Amino acid sequence: MTPVVVLDACVLYPAAQRDLFMWLAAGGAIRAHWTNEIHDEWMRNVERDYGVARGVLKRVRKLMDQATDNALIGRYHQHESLFSKTDAKDRHVAAAAVAARKRSGCDIVTIITWNLNDFDRNELAEVGLAAETPDAFLCRLLVDSPEEVIAAFLRMRENLRNPPKTTRECAQTLAAQGLTKFSGLISAKVECS
């Protein structure tokens, strides 16, 4: 079964990490979801930290929404009351995951985030949710769906043209963004194939 995930803003913030998850979604390895609130957060932080023009970020946002099937989640705020122990600034993410679970009909939705401590695991489990770091999730996905993950990684690498990057350079970029275990695994897999 294709994993259903909600991508937190901290996962969409770094460009290479965002690109990889988008290629995974476009290739059908995952069913990715987010909200306008999640979009606003990562875009605001990229604009602030890197000075990227708002128009460029809006274009990226539009392309993300167009490239994925039904990724944008709405009408989720009513679920925030289920998460009183979850950090207040991340309740909207958990609530979006509840809405994604209802929409998809799957048994479990995983919130992909670097901020695991912000989510109460018991609250999540009670409503069929889990939280996992991008590194742990991608390592598990590579074991479960190696062809799809390798294909997504290669599409990501081939799409980098200014400047182009080698497999090792792409893996190093992902490692610098926190995907340390995954970058080692994917680099070895791609070089062996």
Tell if the pTM clears 0.85, that is, is over it. yes
Average pLDDT, the chain: 95
pLDDT digits over 33-44, tens only?
999 999 999 999
Q: All domains of the chain, ordered by start, with CATH?
A: 4-192 (3.40.50)
The pLDDT, as a whole number, for residue 22 is: 96
From 147, 137, 128, 120, select the one nearest 182 (Cα to Cα): 137
The band of 111, judged by pLDDT with boundaries at 50, 70 and 90, is very high
Q: Which two tokens stand for residue 8?
A: 């937190």
The pLDDT, as a whole number, for residue 74 is: 95
Q: Per 3-state DSSP, what percentage of the chain is helix, strand, and coil (rounded to 5)?
A: 65, 10, 25
The pLDDT, as a whole number, for residue 127 is: 98
Average pLDDT for 126-136: 98
The pLDDT, as a whole number, for residue 109 is: 98
Is pLDDT of 119 > 70? yes
From 113, 114, 145, 108, select the one nearest 24 (Cα to Cα): 145
